[in-house]
Amino acid sequence: MINLKNTPPYGLDDLREIMALLRSPDGCPWDREQTHQSIRRNMLEEAYEAAEAIDEGDPEHLKEELGDVLLQVVFHARMAQEAGQFTLDDVIDGVCQKLIYRHPHVFAGEESQDALATWNARKRQETAQRTTADAMAAVARALPALPRPEKL
């Protein structure tokens, strides 16, 4: 048995520790055997369940589903850390850098009449999308059948 402090409310560091314990030799056999591919569907399902909770307008349901999405992020990041690829902190750092870069009107004092246009322009710069073909190639191939052509 693994001892974990039982003093809610828990925070991100607690979640990180719980996932590490679940993946450890003394943890859960099911959690240890998972791979990015084996839980890929779970990530998609949780994202759709969060979208459904948004559509329902139910904050309690949304809170639960966002927790499930966060669990998937932490799970994948933990597996990547174990493989020496990246950590949850790397994920967090990357998204913080992205948010700062794509919001120059907030973080760099630049004028912006259209924040969405600035966001999209900076996204195209980051991903070296110079042509329409480049932008189309950047659309996720894993999107469902109807949203993908809409995005294209």
pTM over 0.75: yes
As given in the structure block, the two tokens for residue 119 are 């966001």
As given in the structure block, the two tokens for residue 46 are 């949780």
pLDDT digits (tens, 9 = 90+) for 47-63: 999 999 999 999 999 99
pLDDT digits (tens, 9 = 90+) for 137-152: 666 566 676 666 666 5
How many other C-beta atoms are found inside a 10 Å radius of the C-beta of residue 142?
7
Max Cα-Cα span within the chain: 57
How many other C-beta atoms are found inside a 10 Å radius of the C-beta of residue 81?
19
d(CA 105, CA 137): 28
pLDDT digits (tens, 9 = 90+) for 20-48: 999 999 999 999 999 999 999 999 999 99
DSSP letters spanning 121-134: HHHHHHTT--SHHH
Is-contact 78 91, C-beta < 8 A? no
